[in-house]
Structure formats: C-alpha cells, structure tokens
Amino acid sequence: MLSVSNLEVVYNKVILSLRGLSIDVPDGAIVALLGANGAGKSTTARAVTGLLGAHDGAITKGSITFDGKSLVGANPADIVRSGITQVMEGRRIFADLTVDENLRCGAYTVKDKAVNAVNHERVMDLFPRLQERRRQVAGYLSGGEQQMLAMGRALMGAPRLMILDEPSLGLAPLLVEQIRDIIVDINQQGTSVLLIEQNAMMALSVADYGYVMETGRVVMDGAGEKLLADEEIREFYLGLHGGEEVQHSFRDTKHYKRRRRWF
C-alpha cells in the first residue's frame, strides 16, 4: 500500500535528517516504526503526509508511493483525500471546540452525509468515552481522552492508512493498553496502521512487521514477534536482559552501542 524507498530529507537546506530510508506498509497490516528521539520517525511521517514544508524540510532523494501513485510534492489535503490520515504527536486537538466539533473537522473531506453518519457511529463504538463527552469542550478532557479524540477525528475521514505518531506518549500504563487494543480493533476493521513509537513493547506486541531507526536510517527490521524476542532489542529498548530488568551506567550504554550487531 505505502512504499518509501531510499528517502533523503533535508531541513533548512543543510541538516540531513533521513538517509536512504526504505519502509513498506502492506495493505491491512500494522507496521511499527521504532526509535529514540531524533531518530527521524516524525520526519518520516511528515514526508508521507506532505507536511515537511511547514517545518522547512524537503525531500532531496527517493520516492514515496501510495497505491502506486507518487506522494512526493503532493498537497497535504490531496494526500488526506487519497486515504491517509495522521494522528500527530501531542494529539493536536482543537481545545476550544467540543468533542463533536472536533470530529466534524475530521470529516471535512467527506461530503456524503450518510458516510459521515456511519463514520461517526464507528468512532462512538470504538470510543464510548467520547460518546459520554460529545458536548464537552475538548480542552477539559484527560490526556487519554484527548488521544482517543485525536484518533477518532482521524477516523472520521475514513482512511485506508492511519499514521499514529507516539500515541502512548504521556499516558499511564493502563491507558496505553487501552490505546493498543483500540489500534488492533481499528486494523481489524480494515484500516492499515503505521505505528510510530518509542514504546517498543506496546508497538511490537501488535505489529505484523517492525523497523528500528537510528540517526535517519533503518538499522534493523523484521516480523514484530521476531523483534520482540530479539535479545539486543529487549536489552537496549526494553531494559530487559534474560527476562529481568537491568540498569546500565552511561559507560555501559556507550559500550553497548558500539557492539550492537546492526553496526
């Protein structure tokens, strides 16, 4: 469905952010994109959704195709109409609008009222809490409720591919589990998902396939179950070794970085 090939992105004409990045999202799959802050995950999302220009970024090499059609240079609104929506890091809801008004904003590109009604019912089924708070001002929702609203707003556009940028950020563990289960439900209803996360445990527990990024490159990829079971992934990203939590000094971490096999 989505294919990113040998992509390079530069900010302010001098800062190379992505260096030959290649990832694929098959139709009907959940694909995880993992990495620490600064690895290039959000830049990848911006490149796909056409938002690099708003951040003084530009694609200097490579290709992005969705259903075989190039997205390089495409207008962000046209990309949304083609079937891609993004839930940005930090939720970015309209805090002064009600829950229902936020959802209507997400349906802006869908002109058929009957389709909008079906999409609205789907969102309310997925997020019963939003049904309870549909007339409440969104800025007064809890962090978890705001994340649900951001996801619901994206679903109102009836996307074929949803890009989720750090949906677990700042949420309590119980809410992270709820968001994870909702992502699975969304996927089972026919929406492909590109899940951008630092929470490797959550992402790989639901992903069909995963990519690990560092400094703008993919350094490891494989099936979600395979990556979750990988000892180096577990130790470096999950803090686990031999099934137990361990702590590293900064010197240990640097030594670990030098010896990782993907280098």
- The reported pLDDT for the residue numbered 171 is 86
Find tokens 């700042």 and name the residue.
170
Q: What whole-number percentage of the chain has pLDDT above 70? A: 89
Question: What pairing do the DSSP bridges indicate for beta strands 69-70 and 30-34?
Answer: unpaired
Whether this prediction's pTM lies above 0.85 is answered by yes
pLDDT digits (tens, 9 = 90+) for 187-208: 999 999 999 998 888 999 999 9
Q: Which residues contact 234 (CB under 8 A, 6 or more apart)?
A: 228, 240, 241
Q: Quick one: which of 60, 50, 51 has its CA closest to 15?
A: 60
What CATH number is given for 1-83+159-222 in this structure?
3.40.50.300
Q: Quick one: which of 253, 131, 128, 122 has its CA closest to 190?
A: 122
- The reported pLDDT for the residue numbered 130 is 92
Distances 147 to 131, 151, 157, 179 between C-alpha atoms, Å: 14, 6, 17, 8
pLDDT digits (tens, 9 = 90+) for 160-185: 999 999 998 888 888 899 999 999 99
Give domain limits for the chain: 1-83+159-222, 95-156, 230-263
Give the burial string for 57-90 (b: 16+ CB within 10 Å, else e): bebeebebebeeeebeebebeebbebbbbbbbbe
pLDDT digits (tens, 9 = 90+) for 221-243: 999 999 988 887 777 665 555 44
Inform me whether the pLDDT recorded for 68 exceeds 60.
yes
Inform me whether the pLDDT recorded for 81 exceeds 60.
yes
- The reported pLDDT for the residue numbered 112 is 85
Distances 26 to 100, 111, 143, 193, 209 between C-alpha atoms, Å: 32, 28, 31, 9, 10
Strand, coil or helix: 31: strand
Inform me whether the pLDDT recorded for 93 exceeds 80.
yes
The whole-number average pLDDT for the span 49-70 is 95
- The reported pLDDT for the residue numbered 239 is 55
Give long-range contacts, CB 8 A cutoff, 24+ apart: 218-224: 218/21, 218/22, 218/23, 219/262, 219/263, 220/262, 221/23, 224/30, 224/32
Q: Which residues contact 105 (CB under 8 A, 6 or more apart)?
A: 94, 97, 153
Distance of alpha carbon 63 from alpha carbon 21, whole angstroms: 10
Q: CB–CB of 52/9 below 8 Å?
A: yes
Distance of alpha carbon 41 from alpha carbon 75, whole angstroms: 21
Inform me whether the pLDDT recorded for 45 exceeds 60.
yes
